[in-house]
Amino acid sequence: MNELPKDAIKCLDKGFVRLVDSMGGDDAIVQSARVSYGKGTSKVSQDRGLIRYLMRHRHTTPFEMVEFKFHCKMPIFVARQWVRHRTANINEYSLRYSEARDEFYYPDPDNIEFQSALNKQGRMGEVDSELKQKVQRYFKEISERSFEIYSELNEAGVARELARAVLPVNLYTEWYWKNDLHNLLHFIGLRSDGHAQYEIRVFSDAMASFVKEVAPFAWEAYQDYVVKGMRFSKIEQNLLERKLPDRVIDDIQEDVAYQLTASLHANKPRSDEDLFPLYKDQGGSDSLDDFNLKWSSGEIDTGNVRELREFKSKIETLRQS
């Protein structure tokens, strides 16, 4: 197992992530969602739109209908964080059944950093090269010496399950790991985040690249609504609304009315003169002339009608709350 499998993404110095199998993709999400909503969703004609709607409204069960199975190899201290995601199925290389292999993680100099003062669980700031060399020397020393001891005890016939207790947590282990897309995205959301430890982030990013291939719409929606979404607490909203003048909110509302109009127009082709009445229906307050001016200037993006409506009411809430 010393060589990288062909279809694997290399992670750290000796680890990897390999997609062994998967079941379903964007299509399977749509298929199972349609069973829930029955004929009622006949109008939501586009898969991408439906997937984005599901993600936006946290309808998570259709995403559970897609399954991924990975073969991964990583240091024990990474496996220890990973295993906390409890919905996954795991078969790990056992040091009770099998002999340990001489494979340890040695950090690349670029990833040896100081303890962050701000973030109790993070690292931050360049370490000088002398200290870096010391770290690497120490990793090598402990790894080699512990493996030497392990091997000697093993050859002397000491029970493997006991002898392995001298091995450090930078030893590589490997497993098959299977999970559904909803829980996999949750994993990636937490472990590809800037607060996650670098060494697990690498593996999470590798799995992410497989997800992106297998279920591109779901991946995009997850990015837009969850990962890059920004949440304001009730307290922050209080601060926000005290400083967000009504005229700014009016401007935003107006802009959304434009977007909505343009979206309606784009979805169902009609002549330009039908647009202004539609715009008025959406609550737009510009005059016909101003409207036409903005329309022909092309500053209006077309988008998802439903989403714009939701944004409009969200902004409205900000003023009234």
Interface positions, 73-102, toward a copy of itself (CB under 8 A):
75-77, 80, 83-84, 86-87, 89-94, 96-99
Total residues binding a copy of itself (CB under 8 A): 123
191 catalytic per annotation? yes
Q: One of 191, 201, 231, 242 is an active-site residue; which one?
A: 191
271 near a copy of itself (CB under 8 A) = no
Q: In angstroms, what is the minimal distance from the CB of 7 to a copy of itself?
A: 14
The closest alpha carbon to 12, from 176, 180, 139, belongs to 139
Q: Which residues of 168-194 are buried (b: 16+ CB within 10 A; e: fewer)?
A: bebbbbbbbbbbbbbbbbbbbbebbee
Assigned token pair, 68: 């991924």
239 near a copy of itself (CB under 8 A) = yes
38 near a copy of itself (CB under 8 A) = yes
Q: Using CB under 8 A, pick the residue from 11, 207, 256, 275 that binds a copy of itself.
A: 256
Q: Give the integer Cα–Cα distance in Å for 109 and 135.
A: 9
285 near a copy of itself (CB under 8 A) = no
Length of the chain: 321
Q: In angstroms, what is the minimal distance from the CB of 3 to a copy of itself?
A: 16
Q: Give the integer Cα–Cα distance in Å for 130 and 121.
A: 24
Q: Using CB under 8 A, pick the residue from 46, 108, 133, 169 that binds a copy of itself.
A: 169
Contact map string, positions 196 to 235, toward a copy of itself, x by CB under 8 A: -x-x-----------------------xxx--xxxxxxxx
Q: In angstroms, what is the minimal distance from the CB of 113 to a copy of itself?
A: 5
Contacts of 165 (CB under 8 A, 6+ apart): none
Assigned token pair, 17: 């992530």
Q: Using CB under 8 A, pick the residue from 110, 156, 271, 320 that binds a copy of itself.
A: 156
Q: Three-class SS of residue 57? A: coil
6 near a copy of itself (CB under 8 A) = no
Of residues 138 and 209, the one with the C-beta less far from a copy of itself: 138
266 near a copy of itself (CB under 8 A) = no
31 near a copy of itself (CB under 8 A) = yes
CA distances from 70 to 81, 90, 153, 161, 181 (A): 17, 10, 33, 26, 12
141 near a copy of itself (CB under 8 A) = yes
Contact predicate 304/52, CB 8 Å: yes
Contacts of 73 (CB under 8 A, 6+ apart): 1, 11, 14, 15, 16, 172, 173, 174
Q: Give the integer Cα–Cα distance in Å for 58 and 293.
A: 38
251 near a copy of itself (CB under 8 A) = yes
62 near a copy of itself (CB under 8 A) = yes
Q: Which residues are catalytic?
A: 191
